[in-house]
Amino acid sequence: MALFMNDVSRTFSEYLLIPDLTTKDCIPTNVNLQAPVVKFKKGEKSAVELNIPFVSAIMQSVSDHNLAIALARNGGLSFIFGSQAIDSQVDMVKRVKKYKSGFVISDSNLTPENTLEDVVRLKNQTGHSTIGITENGTSNSKLLGIVTSRDYRTDKDSLDKKIKDFMTPFASLITGKLGITLNEANDIIWDHKLNCLPIIDENQRLQYFVFRKDYDDHKENPYEVSDSNKKLLVGAGINTRDYKERIPALVEAGADVLCIDSSDGFSEWQMETIKYVRETYGDKVKIGAGNVVDKDGFLYLVEAGADFIKVGIGGGSICITREQKGIGRGQASAIVEVAKARDDYFNETGIYIPICSDGGIVQDYHMVLALAMGADFLMMGRYFARFDESPTRKLKIGNNYVKEYWGEGSNRARNWQRYDMGGSDSLKFEEGVDSYVPYAGKMKDNLDLTIGKIKSTMCSCGSLNLPDLRQRAKITLVSSTSIIEGGAHDVILKDTVN
């Protein structure tokens, strides 16, 4: 006979947080939202940490390089979608890693014998206005000068003019020596009022550029997450079919963490994928797995060697897995059970396995509930799909602007690997829909508002960080009438009066 679980499958909308003592130091500016992404031992730190507990979903309509750059600059992490050719996914990862790194490898270079026409063409191709002029036109040969937009005028100068006749020659450049710190390089830039500083080795070979604008950008984005080389963090989604080809390419491109993208993670295919990573790279390559909704699924993937576990089946706004297959669980119930399993495992082994809540977020306060119930960080699709930085089209329908948003299980995405159950390479039936979401503008403006709400709520709960919130939070079930009571009621709203 089937096992019947008598506990009700519950969603975040069925709960509210009860306030705790708000002390005088419980103010939003004191709240720390740092969150671990990958497993770590007791007393140690996670090798990958976020400054805000948000990651973007592994979806064609959400996570490309543009959104990944914007989210990393604001403290979160994107997982570049894997339902594309390996080469194109690798290119997106490289674009993120090259975007800002403090020490930037020059990928726009020419020789003194090239012409102004070559400069214009290269600038149009790359968007870079600073071009390294080297002995053989590569990024690590002898530096002979640089060209910026201040060195020429296309309306006055002939396009066949040689670069050597208008570049800023090496003798006139201020340079930094390989080995100096980023702080030292920025000091040189400021002391000499430079826009960029070439970094050269003892043989005058170009190694890097350091740009003034990167310093300014960092000051404007204090929560930016980066690696040890000051390059933005970025994740990448993979599947359980072509992982032996995809993973090495993504690792070579610089992906900081991988995640198996699947609607059902409690499978031997995921175990085999993780085993390949451990046998090939040891613990050097970080990989998350999922999705699961109970203790058994969590422990299976932990024992397989996963660095974090993704929780949630059927709770996404575009997901119809529950409707199609009758598979899934209310997101709140899933998080509560898996979080308890995570804590028990930590107490037994001293190893902490972060869990990611994927789906079920409708209101901003649901984010705090998910974190209070035990999630370390949240994966969201609809939330990020609304912004300028997402890869989909902005359309006007009626009097409203919207952005396209479709699920990986829809016919439009045709990501059969995510729903693979063996057999032929095809999408048997849809588990996602093709839809629109209301357009919301720039990411940063919306993130600032959401983060402000989260910090304010945490202060009302008497908590200044996420581990403390999980320990102190008091959560209550609410009735259907209590939910109605929580909104505006028994009044006539002004915007409804003609």
- Rg over alpha carbons for the chain, rounded to the nearest Å, is 25
Those residues with Cβ within 8 angstroms of residue 417's Cβ, 6 or more apart along the chain or in another chain = 82, 83, 239, 240, 241, 242, 261
From the list 76, 156, 62, the residue with the least C-alpha distance to 116 is 156
Question: CA angle 457-459-465, nearest 5°?
Answer: 100
Q: Which phi and psi angles does 461 have, rounded to 5°?
A: -90, 0
Indicate the Cα dihedral angle 220, 223, 226, 228, nearest 10°: 100
Q: Which residues pair with 199 in a beta bridge?
A: 176, 208
Q: For residue 378, how many C-alpha atoms fall within 13 Å in the half-sphere facing its CB?
A: 30
Q: Which phi and psi angles does 146 have, rounded to 5°?
A: -140, 160
DSSP per residue over 439-480, as a string? Answer: --B-HHHHHHHHHHHHHHHHHHTT-SBHHHHHHH-EEEE--H
- For the annotated catalytic residues, the residue numbers are 319, 418
Question: CA angle 476-452-392, nearest 5°?
Answer: 100
Locate 41 and state its tokens: 């031992």
Q: Which residues pair with 481 in a beta bridge?
A: none
C-alpha span between 135 and 141 (Å, rounded): 6
Q: Which residues pair with 379 in a beta bridge?
A: 55, 358
Those residues with Cβ within 8 angstroms of residue 143's Cβ, 6 or more apart along the chain or in another chain = 132, 133, 134, 170, 173, 175, 198, 200, 204, 205, 206
- For tokens 């693979």, name the residue: 420
Which H helix or E strand runs over 132?
Answer: strand 131-134
Locate 392 and state its tokens: 């989909």
